[in-house]
Structure 1
Amino acid sequence: MEHLTRIKVQQEDFNLADEYAALGNQADCGAIVSFIGSVRELAGDSLLSMTLEHYPGMTEKSLLQITEQARQRWPLGNITIIHRIGTLSVNEQIVLVLVSSAHREAAFRACEFIMDFLKTRAPFWKKEQTTAAGYWVEAKDSDNQAAQRWSSPES
């Protein structure tokens, strides 16, 4: 059975139920794992908005490469990644990852793997606007450490 990968980079919001239905029923997949990331309030200054930018074409290619790496590690069914761009407010959805597999462990691990590498390897840039100032968000050591853990053979 052929399994599909859907990747969208868009300004529009997404609906989990619609995307779950679009993932499709696959007779060989008994598990679907989802992750939704949203804009959250910062410690300290109040966050007014977050603006996300990307490198068109390159971003989608990078996300596709990440899903291909996940498929090499685990037996996966269909995969959906939606990442929003533009200016978003607190509590708005940023990213959706849906992963299906025959077994839950593969689906959970692949979803986590995809998010770890999406945060560190996909060309997205974030600018946060707070009540005090606007600034570009630097890469976090914790995100790099999360991605690094997948380099061991036991991961």
Structure 2
Amino acid sequence: MAEGDGRAALLAEIEAFYAGFGQAESLTAAFRDAALLVPVSDDRRILLSRYGGVAWVYGFTSEAEYARYIAARRAQPDASEDPPYRFHTLFGRRLVDWFAAHGDEPTGIVVNIAGAQPMAFPPDLSESSRPMAGAPVVGPPARG
């Protein structure tokens, strides 16, 4: 991890959450300020997974965390193709802001999904579209 990429602060906030001492506002701020590795397709589009009617973007705090995800995907019996190995490094705030403005469906973000302490930031699914306490809002796109 490079100094100033925000990953260490995010990992510390996630660890505090798992220890029972986390604060939603601090976790969200650390997420927004962290540079995450985000898997992309061959044509450089962010890859989405769908679960429970929601699209999810995976972000990783290191190449080792990304490799753990790839190994877990390969171990699944229904894995029809190799997962992607390409990634872009994007700040959490860029992911949230982009999907809020351009996403076609509610989209959440999961950090280190195959790691020891995964952390999900679900989309806001309420009709009022007000931010959920402790989670970045990645909701339906604004229509113009």
Instruction: Indicate the structure with greater strand content.
Output: 1
Q: Highest relative contact order (Cα 8 Å, sep 6+), 1 or 2? A: 1
Shared fold (TM-score, shorter chain, > 0.5):
no
Q: Which has the larger radius of gyration?
A: 1
Normalised by the size of structure 2, how large is the TM-score?
0.28
Normalised by the size of structure 1, how large is the TM-score?
0.27
